[in-house]
């Protein structure tokens, strides 16, 4: 058996060669960042529920103030836009685009600022 060549790390998912994955997902580090923000927003009383949707083209995280309402915030990851305007898009409650970019931290900045205002109040 060959030694670890550096291409494989324990716990990583390796796509089958020559095949596109059936769905886009969040990487562990991305999901950790998103769930950290979600936990702080729950603690501040802003969000109470979340949903995730995964398709062939995108992964979507939606946060809700109440479970029966439309999402207050949506975060979309579209890898196909990586080379153009950035694969991350932050949506507001009415579907308006709040921020778009290449860096997850920068795209989440408007929500982070809102959290700081909630804590200061």
pLDDT given for residue 114 in this prediction: 83
Concatenated DSSP letters for the chain? -PPP-SS--TT---PPTT---SS----HHHHHHHHHHHHHHHHTTS--EEEEEE-SS-EEEEEESSTTS--SEEEEE-GGGTTTT-SEEEE-TTS-EEEEES-HHHHTHHHHHHHHHHHH-
Per-residue confidence (pLDDT) for residue 118, from 0 to 100:
61
Q: What residues does each domain of the chain span? A: 28-120
Predicted pLDDT at 1: 45
Query: Running along the chain, 121 residues long, what does each successive block of 10 average in pLDDT?
Result: 55 64 86 94 92 92 85 92 91 91 94 76 58
């Amino acid at each position: 058996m060959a030694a670890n060549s550096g291409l494989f790390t324990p716990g990583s998912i390796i796509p089958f060669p020559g095949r596109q994955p059936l769905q886009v997902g969040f990487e562990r580090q991305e999901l950790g960042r998103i769930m950290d923000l979600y936990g702080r927003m729950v603690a501040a009383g802003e969000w109470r529920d979340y949903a995730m949707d995964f398709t062939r083209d995108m992964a979507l995280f939606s946060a809700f103030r109440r479970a029966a309402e439309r999402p207050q915030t949506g975060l979309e990851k579209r890898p196909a836009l990586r080379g153009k305007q950035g694969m991350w898009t932050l949506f507001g409650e009415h579907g308006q685009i709040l921020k778009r970019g290449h860096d997850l931290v920068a795209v989440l900045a408007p929500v982070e600022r809102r959290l700081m205002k909630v804590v200061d109040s």
